[in-house]
Amino acid sequence: MIQKPVISAMEAAAKIKTGDTLLVGGFLACGSPHTIIQALKAAGASGMTLVCNDTATFDLKTGIINGVAHLVSGKLFKRIITSHIGLNQETQRQMNDGETQVDLVPQGTLAEQIRAGGAGLGGFLTPTGIGSEVEEGKQIITIEGRPYLLELPLHGNVALIKAKVADKAGNLIYSQTARNFNPIMATAADLVIAEVEEIVEIGALDPDAIHTPSIFVDFLVKAEKLDA
């Protein structure tokens, strides 16, 4: 089995270009690739589109900041597609001041858009959002008398994901709830970089325990920052 290259966080950041659509795993920074996030903040790419469950925490009073909030505060994104910005006052400010386009998407819809992107689907139908602002500008399709929104797939140039353990082939195991959006994002990008806490030999992982097969992973980065 072919081994996947292990690269530094800075080498990973260098693979992300201005204007890219970036998928970043995590749920309020749990399961986010913190080492790569810090490297990307220093690398200087900008004008990107972020797809993430939320924009983590940025509290202007306490100065608490974590996860992708580091990238938001650096103004790396022209557009953010997410389900929750309630704990990131900087995302809120950028949206209200017109500095960044923020698309708020119901969480289940966002997950299914990413899954559809990874599965090569043209979209899916959901009743979520009917009768609300969510339906604005979207096609409504009626099936058996019930209206549904046609939601389109999301696909990224690069996905940055976080796993607990990888073998040298790139098979991944996540840690409990840190799994969250990472497995579906691993299927939905042209280039997938996995930050991992531990790298073991090929054959050391129980095949039944693997969450993301190696075929979806292009590069591995050894985690240096487990929370930030």
Q: Which pLDDT tens digit goes with each residue over 11-49?
A: 999 999 999 999 999 999 999 999 999 999 999 789 999
Percentage helix, strand, coil for the chain under 3-state DSSP, each rounded to 5: 25, 30, 45
Q: Which pLDDT tens digit goes with each residue over 174-210?
A: 999 999 999 999 999 999 999 999 999 999 999 999 9
Please name the residues in contact with 224: beta carbons below 8 A apart, sequence gap of 6 or more: 9, 35
Whether 227 shows a pLDDT value over 80: the answer reads no
Q: How many CA atoms lie within 13 A of 199 on its CB side?
A: 18
- Domains and their CATH numbers in the chain: 6-119+155-222 (3.40.1080.10)
The helix (H) or strand (E) run that includes residue 96 is: helix 89-96
* pTM of structure: 0.95
Alpha-carbon radius of gyration of the chain? 18
Q: What is the mean pLDDT of the chain?
A: 95
